Amino acid sequence: MSPSAPEANVSRSRVVVVGAGFAGFQAARTLSRTVRNTAEIVVLNPTDYFLYLPLLPQVAAGTLEPRRVTVSIPDTLPRVRLVLGEAGRVDLAGRRVHYTDPEGVSGELEYDRLILAVGSVNRLLPVPGIAEHAHGFRGLPEALYLRDHITRQIELATDASAEESASRRTFVVVGAGYTGTEVAAQGTMFTDALARRQHPRRQSERPRWVLLDVADRVLPGLDRRLSSTADRVLRRRGVDVRTGTSVEEATRTGVRLDDGEFIGTRTVIWCVGVRPDPLVSQVGLPVEHGRLLVDPRLTVPGHPDVFACGDAAAVPDLTRPGEYTPMTAQHAARQGKLAGLNVAASLGHGEQRSYKHHDLGFAVDLGGVSAAANPLGIPLSGPLAGAVTRGYHLAAMPGNRVRVAADWLLDAVLPRQSVQLGLVRSWSVPLDTASPELARVPGGPSTKE
Ligand SMILES: Cc1cc2nc3c(=O)[nH]c(=O)nc-3n(C[C@H](O)[C@H](O)[C@H](O)COP(=O)(O)OP(=O)(O)OC[C@H]3O[C@@H](n4cnc5c(N)ncnc54)[C@H](O)[C@@H]3O)c2cc1C
């Protein structure tokens, strides 16, 4: 036990939940409601919030303010102890999780039950220049940074040469899964709005979005009807959709495609998918494509005190024998709930159950009133799909719903606020370059009228 995480009550069993995404948050919530105060529940997570990832493209596009897509862990899980930090090692024999807190201090947490719910990370392919020049899209800082960067590109384009302006106004999204498709669809609306407010001499030059995928259609993993709806909306908005295409190289000034074409751009957004968090492979237990193998009760075989769920776990899909459940929010949240119940059962509260969930469909928000959705397998498009999609998100969010709905309402009636927040590196004035005169002023620098 580290000095920063003092022992609260040694007589109670301790459940440590690593990760507070869809799976971990629901696991901790369900567990705390089921066991009440008879067990100590500790959540180890790098941030003090749960992040509702499906709405992240709307943060990048300026529709939602960043805090809207977060749900505070201390506010919503009052019986749970939050330890801020990132797990680095799991000692199964010693029943300990070693972690590092946000200030670099190491600590460890002993557990009686462990729930691993660390989710996934960006999948990086060995394409030259991507690691240096592309923007990732996985967390709140990345979405906010991207919003600032896009705003700056449009603003800088105003006074640039024709060639530079074209490159600054070109945005390339690599990967047309749900994230890339939403980023491109919503990004177009955002940059059109930004461009309309620029100097009239550049207003005729519309920003250009290019969406690439090696697959033969957008939304390749989803129902074909969703793909065709999304494709139609994207092309109607002017997005240059290139299927069967990949990137060979990225540089500071553009990307080279596998057909040899070079597209000048200052913005490459990497949305090629995710892979399970690398912590999973380091635990030393059997994995399936990087996901921790569990049985239908979400327990690791041979380790009845270790549970895993969400993107980090390979959970047998009992509705499709021989397959594992896909990495989606829908499954992660439900598995999290069940992990909470099954851990509670292992502590004497109720019976353990197996995970079985029939997919309820998917919803892709394309911005404005457009969406592509297939709730319960019924394909929808247009404003009806838009309403269903937003209703679904509001129902699925574990908090902050009123603020999200209010932002949507405001976005429908007011222009988007498009100022940069200064996240993209800018000129700075380091203290050692301050004028000697100012530096000599007792009590620090002052201004002269
Ligand atoms: C931009 C984006 C949009 C998406 N849109 C959709 C969508 O529309 N519909 C859909 O179904 N799915 C969507 N997904 C996928 C969905 O978000 C994931 O399937 C879901 O988040 C998985 O939940 P999880 O709890 O397993 O992982 P996460 O939600 O990723 O949570 C993992 C948590 O663990 C924490 N963590 C990671 N490593 C450590 C560590 N070492 N120590 C402690 N904590 C750690 C993370 O900080 C995070 O809080 C989207 C994903 C992204 C990135």
| pLDDT at position 427 | 55
C-alpha of residue 434 to centroid of ligand 1, in Å? 44
Does 106 reside within a domain?
A: yes
Domain that holds residue 253: 130-272
Q: With a 6 A CB cut-off, is 87 part of the ligand 1 pocket?
A: yes
Tens-place pLDDT, residues 348-387:
999 999 999 988 899 999 998 999 999 998 999 999 999 9
- On whether both 288 and 222 belong to a single domain, the answer is no
The minimum-distance atom of ligand 1 relative to the CA of 20 is 49
pLDDT for residue 121 is more than 80: yes
Atom of ligand 1 nearest to the CA of 23: 25
What's the pLDDT at 431? Answer: 52
Nearest alpha carbon to residue 185 among 246, 142, 240, 140: 240
Where does residue 322 rank: exposed (0-12), middle (13-18), buried (19+ CB within 10 A)? exposed
Between CA 312 and CA 295 the distance in angstroms is 14
Domain membership flag for residue 51: no
Residue 324 has a pLDDT of 97
Residues 252-263 have pLDDT tens digits of: 999 999 999 999
Pair (203, 283) in one structural domain: no
Residue-wise pLDDT for 147-167, tens only, equals 999 999 999 998 899 999 999
pLDDT, position 425: 66
Domain boundary among 320, 346, 372: 346
List, for residues 369-379, the tens digit of each pLDDT value. Answer: 999 999 998 99
Contact call for residues 46 and 85 (beta carbons, < 8 A): yes
- Examine the fold and report which residue of 272, 293, 310 is the final residue of a domain before the chain moves on: 272
Residue 365 CA: nearest ligand 1 atom is 8
Whether residues 280 and 223 share a domain: the answer is no
- Strands (E) in 19-67, as ranges, are 39-45, 49-51
In a domain, 396, yes or no: no
Question: 78 — phi, psi (to 5°)?
Answer: -65, -25
pLDDT for 135 beyond 70: yes
CA distance 258 to 150: 25
Instruction: Report yes or no on whether pTM surpasses 0.85.
Output: yes
User: Rg of the chain over CA atoms, in angstroms?
Assistant: 24
Binding site membership of 130 for ligand 1 (Cβ less than 6 Å): no
- The pLDDT assigned to 441 comes to 41
pLDDT of residue 420: 86
- In this structure, the answer to whether residues 171 and 256 fall within a common structural domain is yes
Please check whether residue 191 lies inside any domain of the structure. yes
- Give per-residue pLDDT as tens, 168-194: 999 999 999 999 999 999 999 999 999
Residues 204 and 264 grouped into a single domain: yes
Residue 143 pLDDT exceeds 60: yes
Judgement on whether residues 300 and 333 belong to the same structural domain of the protein: yes
Q: What is the CATH number of the domain that holds 289?
A: 3.50.50.60
Number of domains in the chain: 2
Whether residues 266 and 282 share a domain: the answer is no
Assess whether the C-beta atom of 22 lies below 6 angstroms from ligand 1.
yes
